[in-house]
Copies of this chain bind each other. A is one copy, B any other.
Amino acid sequence: MILKPKYFEDFEVGLTFESEPSFISKEEIIEFASKYDPQSFHLDEKAANNGPFGQLTSSGFMTLGKSFTQIFEMGVYNGTSMGAWGIDELRWTKPVYPGDYLKTKIEVLEAKKSTKNPKRGTARLKHTVTNQNNEIVMTWISNQMLRTKR
């Protein structure tokens, strides 16, 4: 079993692999929110305490970037990624709080070689992001383009 798939052919349907955990800090939540998601419950601790989640929470867009980076830093896609063309069915199922540790598990749902370019294929990857209590905080499916071996 390949633990770190790299080329399109390595992404066999049913293959699963998992990242190391990443820490979510209050400082990072606020910094991210100030540029990319300036809602008060991501940006301001005091306002967040009176907001819909009762405390500061991570922007879902930040959780998404962290999840992608976790997998990328395993060495997966490095030098073989040709970008992604889309995301399907992204769900934020639980809030992410300062102090959480998140990790991402991937399952290969589909793998389809390009009919236009034999050097490329798309892997459909289900990402499941969990916190330190094993609660699922986010799921998403990426459509990741990858180089073939030749």
Contact = CB atoms under 8 A, between A and B. Distances in A.
B35 A77 contact: no
Main secondary structure, interface of A, reads mixed
Given A35-B69, A36-B65, A64-B61, A53 B83 contact: yes
Contacts of A64: 61, 64
Nearest to A87: B90
Contact of A73 (B32, B38, B88, B90): B38
A23 interface: no
Nearest to A83: B52
Contacts of A86: 89-92
B88 A92 contact: no
17 contacts: A36-B69, A37-B69, A38-B69, A38-B73, A39-B83, A52-B82, A52-B83, A57-B83, A59-B65, A60-B83, A60-B84, A83-B95, A85-B91, A86-B89, A86-B90, A86-B92, A87-B90
Q: Top 8 A-B pairs ranked by shortest CB distance? A: A36-B65, A87-B90, A52-B82, A86-B91, A61-B65, A86-B90, A39-B81, A36-B69
Interface of A: 32, 35-41, 52-53, 57, 59-62, 64-66, 68-69, 72-73, 77, 79, 81-92, 95, 140, 145
